[in-house]
Amino acid sequence: MANRNEKIKEILHDLGARFLSLNGNGSSLITVTGVNLTRDGKYATILFTVFPDSFEKTALEFAKRKRSEFKEYIKENSRLGRIPQMDFALDSGEKNRQKIDNLLNQG
């Protein structure tokens, strides 16, 4: 079961990146950094970062507005039988890692 969930996460990661790239307006760079999938596979959250940081709120609102379209995109571009309930979130872990890297590189 864990292997199946890993495969689903890979598919959702790839489709999430393509979907956001195709539907974004190009004013910011949105990078999908990960996918959280519940053990039962019913809920998935696409994690992403935004550059520049000033567009984070706008990008998150955009992604959340596009959830139903993203679900349709998954149906059309994958062979997943049961598509999880989808959500989007900013990847704060990646942002914290970048801050730590910057601090370490300054010293």
Q: Where are the domains of the chain?
A: 2-106
- pLDDT at residue 107 tops 70: no
> Quick one: tokens of 75?
């149906």
Burial of 80 per CB tally in 10 Å (0-12, 13-18, 19+):
middle
**CATH class for the domain made up of 2-106:** alpha beta
Rounded CA separation 75/60 (Å): 22
The pLDDT of residue 97: 78
Rounded CA separation 53/51 (Å): 5
Share of the chain above pLDDT 70, in %: 98
Burial of 17 per CB tally in 10 Å (0-12, 13-18, 19+):
middle
pLDDT bracket for residue 95 (50, 70, 90): confident
Task: Note the pLDDT tens digit of each residue in 42-59.
Answer: 999 999 999 998 999 999
Least confident of 43-47, 52-56, 70-74, 83-87: 52-56
Report yes or no: 19 and 72 within 8 Å, Cβ to Cβ.
no
